[in-house]
Structure formats: structure tokens, C-alpha cells
Amino acid sequence: MVPRSLCIKLNAIFAIVLLRFEYVLGTCIERDEQIQKYLSSSQPPFDNYFNISKAVYPSVDLPSLLIDITVKFLKIAGEKSNGSNSSSTLEKNFSRSTTFEIRKFKWSMSCLYVSGGIRLSSMNWFSLGAIYPNRRGSKLYITLPQFCNGSTVNRQDTIIYFLSTLQDIAVTPLVSDPRLNTAECVIPGHGKAPQFPGVKQLLHGVCWSLLPISLIMSTFSSQWIIVKLQSWDSNKDYQSKIAATMLLSLLLFVGGHFVNIYTWVSATDVENKQDSYVWVFFGSIWFVLLRRMIWCMCVHTKWKFFNNLDLTKGHGIMPTQNFFSGVVLYPAVFIACHHLLWILLGMITEPFWGITVLVAVIALCATFFFLASELYCVFPENFCSSGKKKETFVFFMSCFLIVAVLFAFVLFMVVLFVVAQAILSESFISTLIQNTLTFVVTVWFGYMNILKKSNKGVKGEGNKGPAREEEVLMQEQLNTS
């Protein structure tokens, strides 16, 4: 028989525990410090810390540059806030949750990646990979209780602020250190950003300004190249350089169109309607092409360059009578200037990666120019008219060597980067590739300098040869007399 006083005490204790339990179950966010606590929690269902640390600093990869964040807010009956984080309470809260409120955000190390107006995939291609945060992107799922109805917290701004501190939470979850946070932007949604405040709103205009700057740069650069072609045209020793310049311009012309068309085809119809930069760039290429053709054909009535497909002829005349310099050269220079400006923009966001891409592109173009100029020397002079089997074999073998060496060079850079990335840091890899490619370019310039001096020496000896023979003959005549 249990004493009556003990029963009263047990009932009182049970009532207190029940009230406390109902109070704990009603969990919601009322204050800012609760958000910080839930983000650094490692207890289910709010085990956010492990997700954050894995997304920001993956153990087998480099730190992320771009993160797609999905925040799930649990709607729980009885909105009472106590900030409790006990394991049993959180599990019971999760079991009593009825629906989810989902909000999406994008965390970015640079506001350029989410500036909007120009798709990130378009930036990838136009910068030739110098702007490529996708290689270090990840997804993050965060679970939080809902906000209390009576809470005065600005929900959107508060969540964005705490999401901007993911690096701090991943490194020191218990001690706040804002110096660790280097991300520039956290925007709502996984698409384009809303209008940025302050100077950041100029990013969209900066990207579009690259088009008129490219037009101005290409105009002066093309004129300089035309002048160089005219000076080389009068010297037979520079015919190989003229041919290499025309082949390089043809490569840039075809490659630029491929990049532009692929960027447009790979996007959806909605993205193409929103991103008009691709269309404007394509129209700018043809504007430069038609402007050059009209100048050569209509203004000066020069129609001969359509019939002159030789790489080295017709450059000494103003305007040119060569098909490649009259049609291909100006758009190719415009495409090269456009890609160069995008690479420089990528160097601002990621200096090590951008400089590596810049050096690699320059080294590739220099290698192609060197191979084309050297192998042009073995091309048959009258290949088009002769049709001999031996000359045909030499021509196609030279073309095959150019393609094979270029492929080997690109494969070497890719293998060097991919293999080293698994062992070394990205900054060290970038420095290694830059030094390697710089060494290759230095050796190439040294070889060209030695070759130039040797050609001058051979010419000098060739000029002295007949005079020396005349001196010997005169000396023999004097001796016989």
C-alpha cells in the first residue's frame, strides 16, 4: 500500500515533467544565437555541422568556390522557444514535424559567378576555363526549425548572414572568428542574383563592356598585323611567318565560332532568352567580318582575294588581295582579344588558376605558330599546280605532324595538371605549370634567335663566295703570266 503523500508527490513530478516535455517539443527560432547553435549542431535531425564542413572543406578535394544550399525549415506544433539542443528533444521534434518549408541559396567566393545577365557556363567557355568555379562546387543541405510567429528577426537577411559564415562554422564551430569568412556573396535561389548594392552592381556592366573593348583592341591589333604582313611580304625569308600567321588566324576563327555555337546549343531555350550575350558576341564577329569584306570589295573594288587562296600572296597590296587576311584575320583577332579579356577577368577572381590558363593558351598558340612556320619550309612551292605524289605525301605528312605535336602538347599539360592535383596543392601546381611552360617558351625564343643568326651567317658566306672565287681566279692569272 503506497502512502497517499507519496502518490501526490509522484503526480506532481509527472505533471511538471509533462509540462516541461510539451514546452521542449515546441521548438522554433526566436533569436539569432539559436540559428548559430543549430548550424553548429552535430545531433540529428539538425546535424548540420558535418554537412557544412564536408561542403566547404571536402577532405579529398580543394575548398569549395560555389555551393548550392537548400535549407529545410521544420514546422512543428506548439511554437515555444527554449533553445534546447538535447538529442531526445530534437528527435521528438523531427518526429512531430508535419511539413517542410524549403528555401534555396547560393554561396559564392566571388560575386562575379552569380552576377547574372551572363550564364556561368558562358563565362566558362569565353574565359577558356579561367573562370571555372564549377570544378570546386558542391551541394549543402541544412535543416533548421521554423521561425516563431512572434519573432522580430528579419528571416531572409538573417539566414543570408549566417550562411555567409559557413567557413567560420566549419573551422571553429564553438568560437566565432569572422576573419575566416572570405565568401563575397550569398544570394537567394540557385539562379541569378538580384541587384547588388554598391560597387558590386557594376559587375554586370563590366562583363558587357568587354565586347566594345575587344572591338577597339582588335581594330588596332589588326592594323598592326597588316603592317607587319606588308613588311614581311617584301622578304622571302619571312614567307613562313606569313603562312603561320594566316593558319593561326584560321584556327582562331574556327575555334571562336565553335565555342560560341556550342555555348548557345548547350543552353536551354529559357537560358538563351535570358542570356543575350552569346547572340551579341556572335553578331559582333560577323559585324567585324562584313566590315572588313565591304572595305576590301566595295570601297576599293578588290574582288581578287576570293580567287587567291595562297597563304603568302597578296599581302603587300593595300587593301589586301589575300583571302585569309581579307576575310579571316580581323574576326580572328577580335575573337582572340575577347578571350584574352575574359581570361584577365578570371585572373582577378583566381590569380593562380587564371595565370596558368593564360600561360597555357599563349604556349599553345606559340607552339602552333612555331610548328606551322617551320614545317611550311618543307611544303612544296607549287603544290596546287604540280600534283606530284611525292609532294602530296610531304604536304599531308607536315599537316599530320602539326596536329600530332599539338595534341601531344595539350595532352602533356592535361596529364601534368590532373596527376599533380591528386598529390599537390593547386597553387603549387599552377606555379609548376607556369614555370614549365615559361621554360618551353624561353627555349623556343632562344631557338628562333639562334636560327635567325645562322641564316644571316649563311647569307653572308653566300655573298662572299663569288667574290672569293674571282679573287682566286685573278691570282691564278697573275701567277701564269
Whether the per-residue pLDDT at 289 is higher than 80: the answer is yes
How far is the C-alpha of 319 from the C-alpha of 297, rounded, in Å? 9
Q: Which residues contact 174 (CB under 8 A, 6 or more apart)?
A: 40
Whether the per-residue pLDDT at 153 is higher than 70: the answer is no
Retrieve residue 22's grid coordinates: 510539451
Residue identified by cell 552592381 is 201
**Least-confidence region, from 4-18, 130-144, 240-254:** 4-18
Digit-coded pLDDT (tens) for 181-199 = 888 888 887 766 666 666 6
Q: Which residues contact 126 (CB under 8 A, 6 or more apart)?
A: 259, 263, 281, 338, 339, 342
Whether the per-residue pLDDT at 256 is higher than 80: the answer is yes
Digit-coded pLDDT (tens) for 337-362 = 999 999 999 988 888 788 888 888 88
Q: Which residues pair with 137 in a beta bridge?
A: 66
- DSSP E strands in 58-179: the ranges are 66-74, 100-108, 137-145
φ/ψ of residue 279, rounded to 5: -65, -40
Whether the per-residue pLDDT at 89 is higher than 90: the answer is no
Whether the per-residue pLDDT at 215 is higher than 80: the answer is yes
Q: Which residue has the higher pLDDT, 139 or 310?
A: 139
Let me know: does 332 contact 256? Beta carbons within 8 Å.
Answer: yes
Whether the per-residue pLDDT at 435 is higher than 60: the answer is yes
Q: Which residue has the higher pLDDT, 384 or 411?
A: 411
Task: Provide the pLDDT for residue 195.
Answer: 66
Whether the per-residue pLDDT at 76 is higher than 70: the answer is no
**Which amino acid, one-letter code, is at 18?**
L
Task: Provide the pLDDT for residue 332.
Answer: 93
How far is the C-alpha of 477 from the C-alpha of 479, rounded, in Å? 5
pLDDT band at 427 (very low <50, low <70, confident <90, very high): low
pLDDT band at 134 (very low <50, low <70, confident <90, very high): confident
Retrieve residue 326's grid coordinates: 581579307
Instruction: Give the pLDDT mean for 164-193.
Output: 83
From the DSSP assignment, how many helices (H) and strands (E) are in the chain? Answer: 17, 4
Task: Provide the pLDDT for residue 97.
Answer: 54
**Which amino acid, one-letter code, is at 102?**
I
Instruction: Give the pLDDT mean for 2-26.
Output: 48
Whether the per-residue pLDDT at 286 is higher than 70: the answer is yes
Report the share of the chain in percent with pLDDT over 70: 62
**Which among 128, 114, 193, 131 is positioned nearest to 345, based on CA atoms?**
131
Instruction: Give the pLDDT mean for 241-254.
Output: 88
Instruction: Give the pLDDT mean for 11-22.
Output: 44
**Environment class of residue 396 by beta-carbon count within 10 Å: exposed (0-12), middle (13-18) or buried (19+)?**
exposed
Q: Which helix (H) or strand (E) element contains residue 188?
A: strand 185-188
**Least-confidence region, from 20-29, 36-45, 56-65:** 20-29
Retrieve residue 449's grid coordinates: 634567335
Average pLDDT value over all residues in the chain: 75
Task: Provide the pLDDT for residue 434.
Answer: 65
Whether the per-residue pLDDT at 300 is higher than 70: the answer is no
Stated pTM of the model: 0.76
Task: Provide the pLDDT for residue 455.
Answer: 59
Whether the per-residue pLDDT at 152 is higher than 50: the answer is yes
Q: Which residues contact 44 (CB under 8 A, 6 or more apart)?
A: 87, 90, 91, 94
Let me know: does 217 contact 337? Beta carbons within 8 Å.
Answer: yes
Instruction: Give the pLDDT mean for 152-167.
Output: 83
